[in-house]
Copies of this chain bind each other. A is one copy, B any other.
Amino acid sequence: MSTPSPAALAKTPEPPYYAVIFSSIRNGTDAGYDAAAERMMSLAPQQPGFLGVESVRDPVTGLGITVSYWRDEDSIAAWRGQIEHRAAREMGRSLWYSEFELRVARVERVNSKRPDSK
C-alpha cells in the first residue's frame, strides 16, 4: 500500500523536466476519494517518464497541493490518457473538488538542501 502523503521530497534529476502542479480544494464528499487517491499514487510511478511526486493536504481547510514530476510532455500526455486516471479525473471534476487548478510547467533550475547533499 502506498501512503498518499509520504514525508519525503521527490528525488528528481537535473533540469529540465516537467512539473504538474495540481492545487485543489476538497468539498468534503467522500465517495471513494481516498481509495482513488491511493490508487493514483500507486499507478503514476508505473508510468514511463514518471520522476516523482509530492503531495500535502490540509485536513482542516481542504486545500491540497500535489506536484508530480515528469521527464517530458509525452510522459504527461500518456498519464493523462491512462484509463483509470481518466475516470478518477472525471470523478474529481464532478464530485470531489469544489475547485482546482492544474498547471503544467517546465522546471528550469533548482536549489536544494538534502541530508546527503543529494
Contacts and interface: CB of A to CB of B under 8 A. Distances in A.
A111 B106 contact: no
> How many copies of this chain does one complex carry?
2
A1 interface: no
Interface of A is mostly: strand
Contacts of A40: none
Measured as residues with beta carbon below 8 angstroms from the partner, the interface class of chain A is: 35 or more
B110 A101 contact: yes
B107 A103 contact: yes
Contact of A25 (B5, B9, B23, B61): B9
Contacts of A63: 5-9, 54, 56
A115 B102 contact: no
Given A23-B54, A56-B64, A106-B106, A99 B111 contact: no
A75 interface: no
Given A7-B25, A23-B54, A25-B7, A112 B98 contact: no
Given A6-B63, A12-B101, 5 more contacts: A19-B21, A19-B103, A58-B58, A101-B111, A105-B106
